[in-house]
Structure 1
Amino acid sequence: MQIDLIDTFLDLIETKSFNRTADRMGVTQSTVSARVKALEQALEARLFQRSRSGTDLTTEGLRFETHARMLRQEWTAARRAVSPSGEAALTLRMGIQNDLTSAHLGPLVAEFRRTLPQTAFYIEPDYSAQMCLDLVSGALDFALLYTPKPHPDLYFQTVGELAYRMVSSDTAHLAGVTPDRTVFAHFSPAFERAHREALPHLSEAPLSVGQTAAVVSLLEAMGGAGYVLDPAARAMVAGGRFRLVEDAPVLAQPVYAAMHLRNRTARLHRRLTRIVSRQLGFKG
């Protein structure tokens, strides 16, 4: 199966440029043209039309797009199905938002393995945008993420909501928190917006990071204030150096289970989603 023809077709849809697709795929423009021509000959249909504004799909190309995405998904699944997996009956590739790993990865995987003892797990901490791309391509089977990226091939379900609390080495009151002593957290675009709306005077903080572990590391090294996940906040307070900023708002971050649309009703994915919902205490 010449999956490179499908990959080239799908990349061209994104770039609308033979040159850009060639650069992204590490091949020559003539190779891209040859692949498109080969695919069009196999389908007996013209898939793209060129104009001054770029390369666009024809009506036939639009009809083929959904099938192309499914073909790539099926090919990835087929390759993985025949890959060595030891004695496991199934290998599940799972993505998880970086910020969830320290407090939630262990309990989640422990319950996954109790529930699915014949399953091998490959786990990749990552950010939402990349996990969505990997779900579309078939590189991941299931993901827990903060920011759903709408796509016709993906399905998202809310499975929890995590609390982030502000801690400080200097003060227990918001009035004492200043931008120059704040690490501004941007765990997701939604979280960043909520942070800016709730505490606009801290938006100009000179440091900004997107992981609780990074915020903790910076605060422990330099002191100051910042938002971290509730378990991390409690641990920092228990250590004696930091205090909760009592009048700072608690900021919530929704968590979503993400999967390919074709797996929305699959028994395995429903079981995984229920486990995550229990672990994160979701009541919705």
Structure 2
Amino acid sequence: MTTSTAPTGADVAEAGPAGPASAPRRARRRGSRTHVLAYMLAGPILLYEAVFVLYPIFQSVRLSLTDTSLGATDSSFVGLRNYDRLFHDPDFYGSLWNTLTYALLVVVIAVGSGLATALLVNRRMRGRSLIRGVMMTPWAFPEIATVLIFIWIMNPTFGVINLVSDHIPGLDASGGWLTSSPLALVSIVLISTWKTFPFYSIVILASLQTVPESLEEAARVDGANVWQRFRHVTLPSIRPTLILLSLLAFIFAFRQFSLIWLTTGGGPGRDTETLVLGIYNSAFKFYDYSYGTTIGVASLVVTLLVTVVIVGIQRRYGEDSD
């Protein structure tokens, strides 16, 4: 035999209010806890960005408005004098042209090679996993090891590539691939492409895996050939990935230093001197820190402009797809 007891007033008070009126209160508490957790997770990242990104940018802008140099006991405010010098410096425009040329060539060739190889290894074939692993080898190589290998390959005396170039009509590589113009710029573009295209290939390959097979089958049933299926089915599906990779490739190439410095050093003359090398030479070779930071600020502005353009293109294609 069981007995039941009715809840007392104390039990009801302890249990708290029930019913629909308490649901919004619980939802607000959960929302506040979620916000606190989000701030806790984002806090270290924001702190890192503030210390290692925003503060150096602020310091660069401040130094570009002074006449700071090595050995100076103090620095004085000179306003926009360094920027006036920058706008009238032909070496700056030469470095800017070299940087944009190098970056655009790397974007087109590296991302294009990544797309081509991704399409090849995306097909069903024997040993596909092994091919993908071998394809990632250049990306795994350290840059110093890569530079040493290509310096040996492009050696003007016994380099392997000279044996091939001697049989190409109209190509004169007698001055050396890394020591003559315009072969020096071509060489660093090819080295950068060989080093970076596996990364873009793997990312594009992952994007290709998300293309619905039903769309491919429908296009094939409608009589579309390989090129038409790629243009109207595959390419629109992976276009956001290609645009993002193009932006990343441009940023990586724009700030490339070690590979260019170790191969050509900016030579011959200034034919391969990029903005990053210009910053290094001004600040650490001629010890003109204020002018070096001025070039750095100008480089940041150029990078931001290119980023805005590429993001605008991506947004426009996103709106068209919607």
With the shorter chain as reference, the TM-score category is: under 0.3
The higher relative CO (CA closer than 8 Å, separation ≥ 6) is in 2
Bigger strand share: 1
Give 1 or 2 for the bigger CA radius of gyration.
Answer: 2
Bigger helix share: 2
What is the TM-score normalised by the length of structure 2?
0.20
